[in-house]
Structure 1
Amino acid sequence: MIAIRGDLELNEIKLKKILDDPNIRMAVEEEVLQAGIVAGYASPVHQSIRILIDESIANGSNWIAGANEAGFHYTNVNLGRDFQGEGPYDLELVSAGAACPNCGSTLREARGVEVGNIFKLGTKYSSSMKATFLDENGDSKPMVMGCYGIGLGRLLSCVIEEHHDDAGIIWPMSVAPYHVYLCSVGVQPEVLEEADRLYQELTSAGIEVLYDDRDLRPGVKFNDADLLGMPIRLVVSARHLANQEIELKERHKTEAVKVSKAEIISMLRELVSEGLRS
């Protein structure tokens, strides 16, 4: 039995660590009845079972507690006089608003995702591999090993959850699979030649490019570009080339701009550098 203040919840993980038993669980109704306890009116008073005391009980007095009889409670119940137990232990499940025991600031709760972890492996593997060291006494001892892992899939999921819209992903420049999505519109030789030339120039400039040279309608390519979410989209078309221009659209913006062929490389270098710094 756990004696804890009625407005608090038990942290089962803390309890398992204190008892060094990962199989501890909450009792079901039948088990409660078999122990002679009345659910809702459970009492640490006059109990012969093992009782663990939470710090919240040890730090107070004159409690109201169940009388282990339906419809009845005891008043002025005190630890030490009316019941005994092991502890006190920190068994409380903290919640938002709880005060820090060190600085007094209040706890703020937020949802998170575990994207990395560390495990202590002990000497299980070092012993079998005979990986040893000499301690201060010159004795050979097995190394205590540990390992860590980063969840790349979880990291990507977190990034996408934060950076997306109804059309698809909006990759930040720093983690984007490619900096630029380049596509040609039309099958005219001059369009394909310019797209090929631009791809080579961008690659030589150190800019990572996803080159979409599929023979598909513009709308399909543009939808795919939004879905894939590369930070910058470049479009080469006969209409734009007639004015010596390339269409540029940043994924997080709604409007595209026309950039002269002579300035496109320098502008992209600036956009990529700025994106990588942010």
Structure 2
Amino acid sequence: MRDTAVALTAAGIDNVRLEARLLLAKASGLSVEALIAHGPESAPPPVVAALRSLTARRVQREPMAYILGEREFWGLPFKVTPAVLVPRPDSETLIEAALTLLADRHRAWRLLDLGVGSGCLLLTLLKELPQANGVGLEASHDALAVARRNAVSLGVTSRATLVQGDWRQAGWEDRLGGPFDLVVSNPPYIETAAISGLMPEVSRYEPRAALDGGPDGLDAYRTISLAGCRLVTPGGHLLMEVGQGQATEVAGIFAAAGLSPRPPWKDLGGVERVVGARH
């Protein structure tokens, strides 16, 4: 573990002791707690070889979530692959906002997640709202496969309908069975020219389609908002994650589409992270 931490430090990675411990746990098949109990023992050669292989991937700045194959979100385990965006703590702000708006946890709400990815938004809401049903739209076949695996592991397959489709194609909203009480999305919102300057874990490895929001980062908001009044039931809500500094412009896009924007929700860093609107 010490050798791994040295290699990670040389690659410019932070939190090296934590990451080294996680990589050794993955290589050995032991929990972090079991590693502590077995700390004085010599690592078997197969474990050493596996750890070196995993470390080589991380040194190339491959995201830890892809190496481990899993990422926690809202206290739930989500399987992840390079086909999906890695779930981030900032996105939990959207879950908080949704649960504030849908205060009756036992009502049969109808939910829609646009760009479902790993399923972290839709499936978390279905876990929190036991009578709700949801639809997830995703353009990537491989990403849908990940979301379906997560729906099974979280026990919500009977209430989740996952559909392949692309909001950039005409008529995309007609096959979703709307309107819905709540529509959520974490769309691509990075400006095209800015992607190459992101951290290597993001720019090299995460799916570009989940990052690229067009020249000004706002293409998806314009497209989705135009369908908002057909997708959201009267009195229902649209909630979308936004990038830093985008909240005011996105609220304006919603208003121009006939929706009523709400004050944004801030993430733990104080960034206006989620913009909502009511139909």
What is the TM-score of this pair, normalised by structure 2?
A: 0.22
Pair member with larger Rg:
1
